[in-house]
């Protein structure tokens, strides 16, 4: 699984044969420049979801429910989920939380919208977690994470994201819970993995979680390419006559020169 946030990133996921594409609310930070994920609205998410749906036809598409669109009631969560499917062209939704969201997961899945749960480091709750901190580091906290995973599975979640938790804890959850686990900073014992595309591509450099691996230097390539363009234009090496320019119609150049000479 990989996140995507627009038409080209979705096309790259399609061509790279990703199984699942998540339109993550991390796009608030990586694509829109917000300070946190909690500033992005459902309408903004839907705008990105539609673009991703146009670019990725084969992968399973999941939309992240943004902060404030599913917490107040199961009914509100269902309404937001329906918009994700109907307006955003997503096939499933993701929400952050454990046992406390079990009734919400039951409500959304009861009408046939698949739900991906997300536990461990839940970025929408970063303020109460003390920032982007690894979760489940003590035996007591780890057991609570297992209970949360079991609760969301029992409520009908089709899979669960495990973010920033110790490898041993994620491996144990994966063994115990009857649904696939998708890890991000949770080790190879998970059923699958997810990363934020602009992290994997080496574009976003304002955060550098230990769990990120950079598979390309697209940020540097983009800056270098644009700098080369600026240099070429300033030195008048671009555009090249003939190669990047259009001729007039046959015989018209002479006529044009004559007409210009006459009018001058």
Ligand X SMILES: Nc1nc(=O)c2c([nH]1)NC[C@@H]1CN(c3ccc(C(=O)N[C@@H](CCC(=O)O)C(=O)O)cc3)CN21
Ligand Y SMILES: CC(C)C(=O)C(=O)O
Residue 12: half-sphere exposure toward Cβ, Cα within 13 Å? 14
Strand segments, DSSP code E, in 79-210 are: 92-96, 115-120, 159-163, 181-184, 192-193
Choice among 163, 217, 235, 252 that is catalytic: 163
Residues binding ligand Y: number (CB under 6 A): 12
**Residue of 10, 164, 194, 203 that binds ligand Y (CB under 6 A):** 194
Nearer to ligand Y among residue 188 and residue 261 (C-beta): 188
Check binding of 210 to ligand X (CB under 6 A). yes
Query: In the range 80-139, which residues lie near ligand X by CB under 6 A?
Result: 121, 123, 132-134
Which of the choices ligand Y, Mg ion, ligand X, none does residue 121 contact, using the CB cut-off of 5 to 8 A by kind? ligand X
Query: In the range 109-138, which residues lie near ligand Y by CB under 6 A?
Result: 118
Match 């297992």 to its residue by tokens: 146
* CA–CA distance, 5 with 23 (Å, rounded to integer): 6
Structure tokens at 129: 């977690």
Q: ω before 239 within 30° of 0 (cis)?
A: yes
Q: CA angle at residue 24 from 209 to 114, to 5 degrees?
A: 125
Phi, psi of 20 (to 5 degrees): -135, 140
**Residue of 18, 24, 114, 185 that binds ligand Y (CB under 6 A):** 24
Task: Give the shortest CB-217-to-ligand Y separation in angstroms.
Answer: 21
What are the catalytic residues? 163
Give the interface with ligand X as residue ranges (CB under 6 A): 26, 29-30, 37, 121, 123, 132-134, 164, 196, 199, 204, 207, 209-210
């Amino acid at each position: 699984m990989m996140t995507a946030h627009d038409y080209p990133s979705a096309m790259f996921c399609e061509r790279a044969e990703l199984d699942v594409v998540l339109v993550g609310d991390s796009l608030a930070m990586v694509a829109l420049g917000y300070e946190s994920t909690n500033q992005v609205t459902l309408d903004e998410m839907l705008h990105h979801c539609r673009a991703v749906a146009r670019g990725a036809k084969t992968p399973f598409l999941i939309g992240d429910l943004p902060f404030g669109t599913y917490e107040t009631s199961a009914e509100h969560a269902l309404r937001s989920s329906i918009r994700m499917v109907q307006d955003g062209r997503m096939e499933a939704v993701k929400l952050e939380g454990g046992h406390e969201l079990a009734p919400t997961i039951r409500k959304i899945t009861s009408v046939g919208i698949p739900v991906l749960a997300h536990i461990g480091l839940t970025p929408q709750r970063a303020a109460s977690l003390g920032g982007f901190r690894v979760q489940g580091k003590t035996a007591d906290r780890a057991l609570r994470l297992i209970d949360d995973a079991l609760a969301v599975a029992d409520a009908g979640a089709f899979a669960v994201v495990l973010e920033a938790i110790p490898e041993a804890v994620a491996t144990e959850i994966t063994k115990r819970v009857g649904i696939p686990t998708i890890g991000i900073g949770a080790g190879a014992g998970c059923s699958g993995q997810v990363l934020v595309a602009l992290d994997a591509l080496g574009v976003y450099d304002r955060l550098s979680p230990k769990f990120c691996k950079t598979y390309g230097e697209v940020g540097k390539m983009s800056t270098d390419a644009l700098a080369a363009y600026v240099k070429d234009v300033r030195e008048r090496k671009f555009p090249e006559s003939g190669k990047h320019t259009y001729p007039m119609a046959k015989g018209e150049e002479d006529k044009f020169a004559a007409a210009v000479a006459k009018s001058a």
